[in-house]
Amino acid sequence: MALYATAASVLAGVESRRGSIKGLVYASSFQNVKQLYALVCETQRYSSVLDAVITSAGLLRAEKKLRPHLAKVLVYELLLGKGFKGGSGGRWKPLLDRHQARLKAELARLKVHRGVSKNEDLLQVESKPGPASQVPRFVRVNTLKTCCDDAVDYFKRQGFSYQGRASSLEDLRALKGKCFLLDPLLPELLVFPAQTDLHDHPLYQAGHLILQDKPRACSACQASCLPAVLLAPPPGSHVIDACAAPGNKTSHLAALLKNQGKIFAFDLDAGRLASMATLLARAGVSCCELAEEDFLAISPSDQRYRQVWRPDGWRSPGRAHLARRACRPWLGSSGEHCATRSLSPPCSVWSTPRAPSAKRRMKTWCGTPCSTTRGPSG
């Protein structure tokens, strides 16, 4: 079944640091995103338990063609999930049927060994919800389609309690139930309790809300909104987003530009660009030109980019210091970061700096020394 193969592919991608669960799920071609996301998250949550059961049952030794990530997904569904009912499981069901008794016996033995009676009690400290699961849900109001006041009123009519603007990060961490706040630092950023699921909310489906990826700390999620705010391009500007997918920064830029001007958005991954195109269409972005290219491979003298905006304020020590301080959660400790670089503090995978020629090209673009280190996308 495509569900299990896709879930295994997402798990492998997360393990190899090709992206986040959310990013890889949305970049896949599987249509039921919510089902896929839930399966991947739960399989990862029980990862250590599944590894122990699969190893003790000798499943991978017996089934040489079964890949480890797919085995983990299938065993989760068999033992801890909804099971294979009706036609679910496809060609994998007969394989699991052959090993079902042994797998169930190993799970029971593991529970006896650890002195627990429920499956959820098997979770080790490292596989229980960690700090990331306690981070509030950050939601940016898409001002291309609505305003913050209208979004707040909509949630209030749905029974949510609006608590006003937060005064500290502690206010955000203390959120519970159906309460929500306005972020203390950034306009149009609403904050909900950690477990709030808005993927099926009508405002999200209509593109009025943009869900920010869940990071490991409140400041990191706020920081994912900072590049566009710090750049602050006036309407009519031409802007480059050097590593654009999955599109949150790009849609934020379009909102600040009021869809007036041009955004040149680059990314090397065709699948992520396709998902980004869907996100931008839903958000009502009409000023963006997508390119499946390496930003560092294009020519700064290309006439298409002659109007790209470089604010003079980024040359001043105070502004540069503000940018470094605000972006410190992902950028590290040193280096001048110009306007063009600031659009992509998050790329998809951290890597070592590129060759000197790439650094020189970034300097040609920006007019200041720039880091070519890449980080997680946003």
- Cα–Cα distance, 370 to 360 (Å, whole number): 9
- Cα–Cα distance, 213 to 196 (Å, whole number): 13
DSSP state of 296: G
Q: Assign residue 164 a region (left: φ > 0; alpha: ψ between -120 and 50; beta: otherwise).
A: left
Cβ contact 206:145 at 8 Å: yes
**Alpha helices (H) in 121-259, listed in sequence order:** 148-157, 169-173, 202-205, 218-223, 226-231, 248-257
Tracing tokens 């480890």 back to the chain, one arrives at 68
**For the chain, give me the number of helices (H) and strands (E)?**
17, 8
Q: Is 332 marked as a binding-site residue?
A: no
Q: Is 294 marked as a binding-site residue?
A: yes
Tokens of 191: 């904050």
Q: Is 258 marked as a binding-site residue?
A: no
- Cα–Cα distance, 38 to 197 (Å, whole number): 12
- Cα–Cα distance, 306 to 264 (Å, whole number): 12
Q: Is 243 marked as a binding-site residue?
A: yes
Q: Is 262 marked as a binding-site residue?
A: no
Those residues whose C-beta lies under 8 Å from the C-beta of residue 364, and which sit 6 or more positions away, are 300
- Cα–Cα distance, 161 to 179 (Å, whole number): 5
- Cα–Cα distance, 213 to 20 (Å, whole number): 9
SS (H, E, C) 73-115: HHHHHHHCCCCCCCCCCCCHHHHHHHHHHHHHHHHHHHHHHHC
Those residues whose C-beta lies under 8 Å from the C-beta of residue 82, and which sit 6 or more positions away, are none
Instruction: Spell out a b/e string for 294-327, using b for 16 or more CB atoms within 10 Å of the CB, else e.
Output: ebbebeeeeeeeeebbbbeebeeeeebeebbebb
- Cα–Cα distance, 20 to 8 (Å, whole number): 14
Q: Is 267 marked as a binding-site residue?
A: yes
- Cα–Cα distance, 94 to 85 (Å, whole number): 12
Q: Is 255 marked as a binding-site residue?
A: no
Query: What residues are designated binding site?
Result: 243-249, 267, 294
Binding site members for S-adenosyl-L-methionine? 243-249, 267, 294
